[in-house]
Structure 1
Amino acid sequence: MSPTMAGDDHGTVEARYGAEAATHFRNQGFWADDSLSSWVDRWARERPGSRAVSDGVRELTFAQLSNQSARLAIRLLELGIHAGDRVAIQLPNWVEFVMAYAAINRVGAILVPIMPVYRHTEVLHILQSAEPKVVLTTGNFRGFDHAAMFRELRGEAPSVSRLIIARSKVVDSSFEERIDDTVAEGQSATALAAQLGPYPHSDQGHAIIYSSGTESTAKGCLHTWNTAAFTARFLARDVFRLTAVDTMFMPSPLAHTTGIEIGILAPLIAGAQIHLLDVWDPEIALARIQQFACTAAASATPFVRMVLDTPSSRRHDLSTMRVWLCAGAPIPTTLAMEFAEVFNQGTLLPLYGCTEVGVATVCHPDDDLETISTSDGRVLARGVDIKLIDHVGERVGAGQEGEICYRGPGAMLSYWRDHENTRAAIDDEGWHHCGDLGRVDADGYLRVTGRLKDIIIRGGQNLSAREIEEHLLTHPAIKDVAVVPYPDERLGEKVCAFITVQDGTPLSVSDIRSFLTNKRKVAIQKVPEKVLTIDELPRTASGKVQKFVLRKQATSTVR
């Protein structure tokens, strides 16, 4: 039914789901024969002059978004990009991200989003794994030259043959070009459409989104248009209830699952506007929500706390905001009540999901305050099944804790070119084992209670403790290390590193920060905010580090 896709034995819809399940998903309206680019072109025909996307500096109408993405798509074809090829984007939350995403989809290529905060180490891993032929990025943003980084990595990532640069006047003509030159006025929309041909098949590879999880290197989650759009369709219809008059406010990175599925796909499927914030600042966020009359948003829960703590929050007209979805931390009753007061009865709703399956459970605007503050919602749509299992794989009853497993139309096909991890995560019955613990009550509401994964959720982003540990162990003065989370009111969790050192001389937080960012070149959010030097790490008789002891110790230092 679908074109062949590179990857492991789950790299096609037939291998992952089977023809019967795929047909069922279509018959039930969970999947459709459309695409991101077909939605963009539809709204360009029906509402050409309406604003599609803005970021406070630039904006595009639906007609401009359609036209410029088509011109970039033609250029991608000229650069040898065809269906199944990978194209990476490392851009802030700018309109160029949305336009480039639509162009990539228009030629049937596979989007590889890269978080803007990622640096040499993380970026090189993604480039070597996904092997994109073209990268869209920028020059200097927030004191870091992204284009220069890709120039440095070129020798170790030979698949990349071209950089397309946004908002930068400085380019190396032998390797780079400016996106503004690429999408300059030229052929008509009709002529462009004739060159581009049919839209891509909705079951072919659409995006490889990298998620760190528990391993030391990130895994690429291979999604089709249909598996990615499933979450967007039902959030847009049943939770946000988006129409053409709505505006989605997106402060979360577009390179993240939240940014892609909620910030781009949900509003574009509904024909709503998108407003982007490229640098998080709660004061600016409030001003933008008022200025652009934003009606919906999604972010990590700590973002909401920062907005409400901003002195000017009571002075802005925020009455247009109806629904704000939160992930990564529970929503306390007091936070939900305060949000409703400041946002004029707007509703703060929790969700549970991950890059591998999109949104699994979510609360709805009709749920009461107790449900919102004590659960992570029910299944997103009737096509989703959730079960909780014990340590031997048996399903547990209502109210009992177990590992959360997902089966439904939003699950990825596989981890990109990673047979071992794919087989470990997806069992023979098609259940995706999420690695998190939870309880489901008699009414079907899930509450996430913990995690099997060794991760820190900092500001809604999953950080692998093992990855940070492996970087720290390369420091010449560090003998042993264990990384654990500790609670933080603003970000949910922060990173604490317990270290033993060679000569007994403690290393400061600034020492560690300098080493990780300058020597190891890792993203700043992975740098520990707390470093504690101890004589030896607590271990079990079998030699495993007793991280629960260290978590208690790290937590006690902030009380």
Structure 2
Amino acid sequence: MNTGLLAGCTPWPPEFAERYRALGYWTGQTLGESLRQRAQQSPERLCLICGERRWTYADLDFKVDRLAAALMARGLKPRERVVVQLPNIAEFFVVCFALFRLGALPVFALATHRRSEIVHFCRMSQACAYIISDQDNGFDYRTLAREVCAESPGLRQVIVVGEAQEFTSLDALCGEQSGVTEVSAEPLSLASPQAHEVAFLQLSGGSTGLPKLIPRTHDDYLYSVRASAGICGLSASSVYLCVLPVGHNFTLSSPGSLGIFWAGGCVVMAGRPTPEVAFPLIARELVTITALVPPLASIWLDAADGRRQDLSSLQLLQVGGARLSAEVACRITPVLGCRLQQVFGMAEGLVSYTRLDDPEDIVQATQGRPISPDDEIRIVDDADCEVAPGQVGHLLTRGPYTIRGYYQAAQHNQYAFTPDGFYRTGDLVRMQEGGYLIVEGRSKDQINRGGEKIAAAEIEEHLLAHPQVRDAALVAMPDPYLGERACAFVILRESTGSHHQLPAASDLRRFLRERSIAGYKIPDRIEMVDCLPKTGVGKIDKRALRQRIAQILAGAV
């Protein structure tokens, strides 16, 4: 069988693919077909709420078909890539499902990404189109699009939700301004992809530089969605509040918006994750489930004491993206009145949940157990030898929804995956009885800033581009609110005269902002030093640097 994977993707071995189909994990349904099926079964059921807009499944399905036809008419072809950078708005789903039905591949960028990241995504994926909103949270994405187009010659078009200026308006493209009211289904069926084909490209945490691209197929991703919806007890009465970025893997599929659509429930879009925005939506729309990262969970808990809204509809609060402290975990049910579910996962595949019937000590102290009976787990030492039960080691995994390789990254894949196909997650874990995982930290050179992953190598490279920086090392420093923040240790070049004053920390931050990287990647603290400690083999000793900044913060230095 044709694997359906793009050139530069690694397929599952045939014997694994056959077994996953035989076991019913891979059903042969595409993401576009899953929405169509739900719209045919429950056309008048409320599907999506975004501000004052309230769409049924029939509404969404129609809008998807109309956009798919328009994109096809403009020359978009199956397997072409489209960078999608949209905030939490309903158009995100119209765009994504239209691309799914055509067999074109969304590349999911976050709203916080800037020129450096977007140009990388466009070049790496060879994207032909870029879809944005006009403005969000005070930022004009059309200005960003001009910068991206100047450095991405492969882009044929930019499509804008809102005021398009010189670009193409999504509304005009869909025919809402030209009187188009019907779309023929025949062209769409001709372009329909197969379930074993790649559906989209997600972004890795980027521990070794800019993010890698993760190819997910319709088959493997829908299995994760269906199984997650079952674990979380979703039904047609479920109402999901989308507060984290809509294109993030957690928000999209764990069980996320796609899990809600599969179950026939309703997704409510929140433009901001703050209690001031989220609490009224929970009360008004009778939200039953939502997902947060630990820092947001703490903010919600602090705000809940003085709330005026009725949050009694909320049944389940998922928390993931970073380690949740036991202190915060034990407050969630007493304060918010809902069940806590810890979630640990990655865009590369593996997702682990505490179960709804787990005892409180399991829910509060572990990050759950994997979705599938066929999620294979190894916990190994530095030599890839399995550790004793209950001991901390490196987490390796393979299974029916975990990729076998990054897109166009053959060299990186040689050490990111074992020869027999296990993915090296970069997480340090230990396993309790019953298969429950406790995440102890990261082995990769990466900072987890409240769920936002920062690759140390990427920021170090930017710092080294400054003409007066001789060396730099980025490490995590402890933070009671975000878990980790970023601290850069910088060695400056000696000044060559009175007209070459050495830069201050504020100057370096300004320099990084001017290089158009996401704001969360700017170091929270910059320490100027004369030298960096080295290990026995001459590498920068980041463990010593982490200890040093921890001591500084504790007042011991």
Equivalent of 1:116 in 107, 111, 116: 111
Is the CA contact (8 Å cut-off) linking 2:475 and 2:546 kept in structure 1? yes
Q: In structure 2, what is the Cα distance between the partners aligned to 1:508 and 1:274?
A: 46
Counterparts in 2 of 1:509 and 1:228: CA distance versus 1, 3 Å:
farther
Is the CA contact (8 Å cut-off) linking 2:242 and 2:267 kept in structure 1? yes
Q: In structure 2, what is the Cα distance between the partners aligned to 1:103 and 1:115?
A: 19
Q: What's the CA shift string for 1:221-246, capped at 9, x where partnerless?
A: 111012222221111111x2111111
1:507, distance to aligned residue in structure 2 (A): 4.5
Q: Which moved more, 1:296-305 or 1:191-200?
A: 191-200
1:194, distance to aligned residue in structure 2 (A): 2.3
SS at match of 2:185: helix
Q: Which residue of 2 aligns with 1:383?
A: 374
Is 1:410 equivalent to 2:401 in the alignment? yes
Q: What's the CA shift string for 1:409-467, capped at 9, x where partnerless?
A: 11124211111122322223221111211111232111122221011001201110111
Counterparts in 2 of 1:485 and 1:151: CA distance versus 1, 3 Å:
same
Q: In structure 1, what is the Cα distance between the partners aligned to 2:371 and 2:9?
A: 27
Is the CA contact (8 Å cut-off) linking 1:7 and 1:414 kept in structure 2? no
1:482, distance to aligned residue in structure 2 (A): 1.2
SS at match of 1:542: coil
Is the CA contact (8 Å cut-off) linking 1:211 and 1:219 kept in structure 2? yes
Equivalent of 1:535 in 530, 536, 540: 530
Counterparts in 2 of 1:161 and 1:501: CA distance versus 1, 3 Å:
same
Equivalent of 1:513 in 498, 509, 514: 509
Pairing of 1:491-502 with structure 2 (within 5 A): 491-502=482-493
Q: What's the CA shift string for 1:373-400, capped at 9, x where partnerless?
A: 2221112121211111122222222112
Letter in 1 for 2:102: V
Q: In structure 1, what is the Cα distance between the partners aligned to 2:330 and 2:488?
A: 35
Q: Which residue of 2 aligns with 1:374?
A: 365
Q: Which residue of 1 aligns with 2:165?
A: 171
Q: In structure 2, what is the Cα distance between the partners aligned to 1:542 and 1:22?
A: 43
Q: In structure 2, what is the Cα distance between the partners aligned to 1:9 and 1:330?
A: 31
Q: Which residue of 2 aligns with 1:214?
A: 207
Equivalent of 1:450 in 432, 435, 441: 441
Q: Which residue of 1 aligns with 2:323?
A: 330
Is the CA contact (8 Å cut-off) linking 1:60 and 1:95 kept in structure 2? no
Pairing of 1:414-429 with structure 2 (within 5 A): 414-429=405-420
Give the alignment's Cα RMSD to 1 decimal.
Answer: 2.0
Is the CA contact (8 Å cut-off) linking 1:137 and 1:165 kept in structure 2? yes
Q: Which residue of 1 aligns with 2:459?
A: 468
SS at match of 2:19: helix
Q: State the TM-score, normalized to the length of structure 2.
A: 0.93
Letter in 1 for 2:216: H
Letter in 2 for 1:236: A
Q: Which residue of 1 aligns with 2:196?
A: 203
Letter in 2 for 1:523: A
Q: Which moved more, 1:284-293 or 1:304-313?
A: 304-313
SS at match of 1:356: coil
SS at match of 1:398: coil
Equivalent of 2:278 in 285, 288, 303: 285
Q: In structure 1, what is the Cα distance between the partners aligned to 2:136 and 2:310?
A: 31
- How many residues align? The count is 545
Q: In structure 2, what is the Cα distance between the partners aligned to 1:450 and 1:491?
A: 14
1:352, distance to aligned residue in structure 2 (A): 1.9
Is 1:254 equivalent to 2:246 in the alignment? yes
Q: In structure 1, what is the Cα distance between the partners aligned to 2:105 and 2:15?
A: 25
Is the CA contact (8 Å cut-off) linking 1:509 and 1:528 kept in structure 2? no
Q: Which residue of 1 aligns with 2:498?
A: none
Q: Which residue of 2 aligns with 1:62?
A: 57
Q: In structure 2, what is the Cα distance between the partners aligned to 1:413 and 1:171?
A: 42
Counterparts in 2 of 1:453 and 1:6: CA distance versus 1, 3 Å:
same
Equivalent of 1:485 in 470, 473, 476: 476
Is the CA contact (8 Å cut-off) linking 1:228 and 1:358 kept in structure 2? no
Q: What's the CA shift string for 1:319-355, capped at 9, x where partnerless?
A: 22222222233333332232102222x1222222211
Is the CA contact (8 Å cut-off) linking 2:350 and 2:370 kept in structure 1? no
Q: In structure 1, what is the Cα distance between the partners aligned to 2:20 and 2:56?
A: 33
SS at match of 1:487: strand
Is 1:5 equivalent to 2:5 in the alignment? yes
Q: In structure 1, what is the Cα distance between the partners aligned to 2:403 and 2:491?
A: 40
SS at match of 2:478: strand
Q: In structure 2, what is the Cα distance between the partners aligned to 1:354 and 1:264?
A: 17
1:290, distance to aligned residue in structure 2 (A): 1.7
1:253, distance to aligned residue in structure 2 (A): 1.0
SS at match of 1:81: coil
Q: In structure 1, what is the Cα distance between the partners aligned to 2:102 and 2:27?
A: 18
Letter in 1 for 2:169: R
Is 1:229 equivalent to 2:219 in the alignment? no
1:503, distance to aligned residue in structure 2 (A): 3.9
Letter in 1 for 2:63: Q
Is 1:194 equivalent to 2:186 in the alignment? yes
Q: In structure 2, what is the Cα distance between the partners aligned to 1:531 and 1:523?
A: 17
Letter in 2 for 1:5: L
Counterparts in 2 of 1:77 and 1:94: CA distance versus 1, 3 Å:
same
Is the CA contact (8 Å cut-off) linking 2:82 and 2:130 kept in structure 1? yes
Is 1:558 equivalent to 2:553 in the alignment? yes
